[in-house]
Structure 1
Amino acid sequence: MATAHSPTLRLRRLATRLRRAREEAGFTSSQVAAKFKWSAGKVSKMETGETKRISAADLDLLMDLYEITDQAERDGMQALARDARQRGWWSKYKKVFSDRALPDFEAEASLIRTFEAQLIPGLLQTPEYAEALLKGGRLTDSETLQQKLDARMARRTILTRASPARLRAVIDESALKRPIGGADVLRGQLAHLLYMAQRPNIDIQVLPVEIGSHAALCAPFTLLEFPDPLDLPIIYIDTAADGLFIEDPDEVEAHSATFGDIQGSAVSTARSATIITDLIKSLEQDT
């Protein structure tokens, strides 16, 4: 059964708790492996998330050894192990997502900060805009293209669910003017941006071209943060072949500072709405 939570995050959280429990109990990973006659790297792989599935029996053995006796804590760790074994909704899009997919992290993100310079962020795209964008890439069969489109639209639900993720998007003005799909498609896309910007969990800021040099004259990026303190923030950078995930704390801090800088360079959300409205009117006049 597909799930709406993140199996990868649940596994990372369990791995962190196991490592901390082992250290508090005073064992090395080698000592634990020897105790249960496991292979030398099994414990380390459990604590780094390399082992995708941790059996209930193995988990019970570890919790007994680490003297975790609180039943609520034991039940919670078993629940994490079960959740980590489930598949996310994105697993059915095998032609679209790799084993480590962006929706896996978006599923439990509480705050998403994204900067885009050339196009509208995926979470804010209309079907027409997304289709035109995908058709502008490398030639692919119609089935794969439709899967990519369906998957991108499915991702958007994190912004409208019962407890939606907060989205802070800074979009370069040039992206708002790029006629992907033609004037009608672009006009519909800009109207959708205005509609989504009215939601309390979404802030959209435009970075005017006239600003010139700014802190993010580099690759666009997305920062994802999570409600559980054990789930450290992560950076996502889109690439031509696949997405790149960066978890290094120094990199996360640097990108967070950069995002703060470009937010300061961008105009306010109210002024951004005016810019988008003016662009829509300009497109209507041209047609």
Structure 2
Amino acid sequence: MIEEHGPTVRHRRLSNELRRLREAAGLDTLDVARSLNWDRSKVNRIERSQWKRLKEADIRSLCALYGLTDGGRIAALIAMSKQAKEQGWWVRYHDVLGPGSYVSLESQASAIRFFGALVIPGLLQTPAYARALIRAGGFSEPSEIKRRVEARMARQELLERSDGPVVQAIIDEAALRKLVGGALTMREQLLHLMLFNEQGTAEVRIIPDSAGGHPGVTGQFAILDFVAAQQSTVVFIDISRDGIFMEEPEEIGRYEAKFDGLSSLALTPEETNGHLARIVDDLRGG
């Protein structure tokens, strides 16, 4: 049974590490099940992050079978299994965030690279912009809108942490010209983006309309990096309620190349702030 709040990043990293160890040992899941006298479905659940609690004895048995003798690595795997049960702040907003898999990753990332095609990334949104966007998404109940805005603002607290991630955002000008919530809301939002560049809290860069077609026209995405060796880079494609996660090296490489291509088309932070100021003036009527 899948954990109620979905697998945390520690769940997924531990499962992936155990799978890699098995493959390095030249074993398949049936070999493991027979050697440990387990049901094969148990091995599959472990490697698919479909577990609630992974016993220390089971981890040690797997490590012994896979020939892992490094005490430090074994201890790290055991620690990860224990920490995986810990719930983050987003659990309080489970009713509006769903399983919370993405925000779990976001809260633990060391660096985040965003591309926003038609909307400004949630981590950079003002309350008024977020509220208007949520209403546009079909939500009308005031209490639910309030909860969703609160959840989005709670996410942004990581930007103020001393150990917060390095954030780079590339945003298509189309997202800046779209009047979400009206001119006043958009002016406030654009000034908010300028402030990120001025304070160095995040790096915001625009791809101007003059750049024409580019690799990001197919949609928005985020690339998340992590410090821990067991937590490799993840790409998140924001196309549904929970989105899609990609972890294979080829997929990661493709999106990193796409982000680099977008970066080559984007204005510098200084040029971006000048461009944003002109759009703000346009919204004021010149």
TM class by shorter-chain length?
Answer: 0.7 to 0.9
Deviation at 1:127, TM superposition (A): 0.7
Q: Which residue of 1 aligns with 2:38?
A: 38
1:270 equivalent in alignment to 2:270: yes
> How far apart in 2 are the matches of 1:35 and 1:89?
40
Q: Which residue of 2 aligns with 1:181?
A: 181
Q: Which residue of 2 aligns with 1:94?
A: 94
The within-5 A match list for 1:237-252 is 237-252=237-252
Q: Which residue of 2 aligns with 1:259?
A: 259
CA 1:66–1:140 in 2, change beyond 3 Å: closer, same or farther? Answer: same
Deviation at 1:89, TM superposition (A): 1.6
User: Unaligned stretches of 5+ in structure 1?
Assistant: 1-5
> How far apart in 1 are the matches of 2:241 and 2:43?
33
Cα-Cα RMSD: 2.5
Q: Which residue of 2 aligns with 1:113?
A: 113
Deviation at 1:81, TM superposition (A): 0.5
1:188-238 alpha-carbon deviations (Å, 9 max, x no partner):
111111111134352111111122122222112222222233323222222
- Shifted more, 259-268 versus 23-32: the winner is 23-32
Deviation at 1:106, TM superposition (A): 0.5
1:75 equivalent in alignment to 2:75: yes
TM-score by structure 1 length? 0.87
CA 1:254–1:67 in 2, change beyond 3 Å: closer, same or farther? Answer: closer
> How far apart in 1 are the matches of 2:155 and 2:51?
27
Tell me which amino acid in the other structure corresponds to 1:115: F
Q: Is the contact made by 1:165 and 1:201 (CA closer than 8 Å) also made in structure 2?
A: no
Tell me which amino acid in the other structure corresponds to 1:230: Q
1:4-28 alpha-carbon deviations (Å, 9 max, x no partner):
xx96221232223333444566654
Q: Which residue of 2 aligns with 1:190?
A: 190
Aligned residues: 281
Other structure's SS at 1:274 match: helix
Q: Is the contact made by 1:234 and 1:247 (CA closer than 8 Å) also made in structure 2?
A: yes
Q: Is the contact made by 1:29 and 1:43 (CA closer than 8 Å) also made in structure 2?
A: yes
> How far apart in 1 are the matches of 2:104 and 2:208?
32
TM-score by structure 2 length? 0.87
Other structure's SS at 2:205 match: strand
> How far apart in 2 are the matches of 1:247 and 1:13?
10
The within-5 A match list for 1:1-287 is 8-22=8-22, 28-66=28-66, 68=68, 70-99=70-99, 101-200=101-200, 202-285=202-285
Q: Is the contact made by 2:91 and 2:100 (CA closer than 8 Å) also made in structure 1?
A: no
User: Unaligned stretches of 5+ in structure 2?
Assistant: 1-5
Other structure's SS at 1:49 match: coil
Tell me which amino acid in the other structure corresponds to 2:274: T
Tell me which amino acid in the other structure corresponds to 2:11: L
Q: Is the contact made by 2:7 and 2:50 (CA closer than 8 Å) also made in structure 1?
A: no
